[in-house]
Amino acid sequence: MKLKPVVPVLSCVCLLTGIILGHENGVVEVVAAEGSDAILPCSLSTKERITSKLFDWKKDGQKEVFMYDAGIHYNNGRSGQDEQFKGRVLHFPEELKSGNASIIIRNTRMEDSGVYTCFFPRLQPSQLFHIKLVVERTFKDRSGEITGE
């Protein structure tokens, strides 16, 4: 699946699937409705090319969400991704040229809520970003499904 560049997508998709609420103590908060897609932002301010770099996304400091190492990642053969995220996490390959390591979590679930880190361990100095994802429960209107006698 080929994704379009993040800049145009981010301005449209975030409005539809998640809202970036801002920074609180260095943590970016993203809110998404359950079942929607959420973009978790992570970009180097230097806009340095990261196609040959390593970056690692984790949830709550433990669960492996997405790891990219010079082109090898969970969607093309790397093992170790937590079952919760298999087949649901994508990145923006074209955006790596401008330092963008953002990811999309497809079909968000309540259990996806938590604090995510985007870590560049080999950069000098290393870089660490914190993103809090809040997945809000969606309630379906089933009033039309009720039938009376």
| Residue 33 within a domain | yes
Residue 100 lies in a domain: yes
Q: What are the tokens at 149?
A: 């006698």
pLDDT, one tens digit per residue, over 76-91 is: 989 999 999 999 999 9
Q: Which domain holds residue 26?
A: 6-137
pLDDT over threshold 60, residue 40: yes
Assigned domain for 149 exists: no
In a domain, 78, yes or no: yes
Whether 134 and 69 have beta carbons less than 8 Å apart is answered as no
Q: What is the pTM of this model?
A: 0.78
pLDDT tens, residue by residue, 54-78: 999 999 999 999 999 999 999 998 9
What is the distance between the alpha carbons of residues 65 and 82, in angstroms, rounded to a whole number?
6
| Domain at 84, CATH number | 2.60.40.10
Residue 145 lies in a domain: no
Does 86 reside within a domain? yes
Per-residue confidence (pLDDT) for residue 25, from 0 to 100 = 60
Structure confidence at residue 29 (pLDDT)? 97
Q: What is the mean pLDDT of the chain?
A: 84
Q: Would residue 1 count as lying in a domain?
A: no
Beta bridge partners of 136: 33
CB 18 within 8 A of CB 134: no
Q: Which residue has the higher pLDDT, 9 or 43?
A: 43
| Angle ∠(141,147,149) on CA atoms, nearest 5 | 155
Q: How many domains does the chain have?
A: 1
Whether residue 148 lies inside any domain: the answer is no
Q: Return the residue matching tokens 């298999």.
A: 86
